[in-house]
């Protein structure tokens, strides 16, 4: 289980004040005495939201894949291509890697990075294909199938 907390200084020592302390206690009670455990502490980030993911995968990706000439069953390949273009980063040793959208990955994308990624994809489609993908609060998921069909028929 993942428990979120805040680092505090008490009596000159650092400790973690967990948000759901009672749930942590219940979880610890379930373990047997002497049981070895691990505690992985890392900086908290606000994970990408369900709304962001729905907008990207249900609308932006489908339109982008159509403009990039991917067939409807090849959106996964389009997604991997977009990730390699816009979610590439470097580790401490300078090696390149592609960041993951999974919340439990080693270097997950937070809400700000997800917005940046979506904006980069939208900007690319706008510059390369002259098509404006609607803003997150103005899109209509119901019409996306029709838009994809129009893009495919235009053959541009």
What residue segments make up the domains of the chain, in order of their start? 1-44, 50-154
**N-terminal to C-terminal alpha carbon distance within the chain:** 49
Mean pLDDT of 85-101: 82
State the Cα–Cα distance between residues 81 and 117, nearest whole angstrom.
13
Mean pLDDT of 124-149: 88
- Torsion angle, alpha carbons of 33, 16, 113, 65, to 10: 20
State the Cα–Cα distance between residues 137 and 19, nearest whole angstrom.
32
Q: Token pair 């080693």 is at which residue?
A: 106
Give 59-92 pLDDT, tens digit per residue: 999 999 999 999 989 999 999 999 989 988 878 8
Q: 43 with 37: CB under 8 angstroms?
A: no
State the Cα–Cα distance between residues 118 and 124, nearest whole angstrom.
10
Q: Which two tokens stand for residue 2?
A: 């993942």
Q: Is the pLDDT of residue 106 over 60?
A: no
What is the predicted pLDDT for the residue at 79?
92
């Amino acid at each position: 289980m993942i428990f979120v907390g805040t680092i505090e200084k008490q009596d000159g020592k650092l400790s973690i004040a967990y948000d759901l302390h009672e749930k942590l206690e219940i979880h610890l009670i379930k373990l047997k005495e002497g049981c070895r455990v691990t505690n992985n502490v890392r900086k908290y980030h606000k994970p990408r939201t369900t709304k962001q993911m729905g907008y990207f995968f249900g609308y932006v990706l489908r339109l982008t894949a159509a403009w990039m000439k991917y067939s409807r069953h090849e959106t996964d390949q389009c997604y991997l291509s977009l990730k390699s273009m816009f979610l590439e980063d470097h580790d401490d040793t300078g090696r390149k890697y592609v960041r993951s959208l999974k919340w439990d990955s080693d270097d997950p994308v937070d809400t700000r990075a997800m917005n940046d990624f979506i904006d980069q994809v939208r900007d690319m489609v706008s510059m390369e294909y002259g098509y404006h993908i609607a803003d997150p609060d103005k899109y209509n998921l119901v019409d996306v199938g029709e838009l994809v069909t129009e893009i495919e028929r235009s053959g541009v």
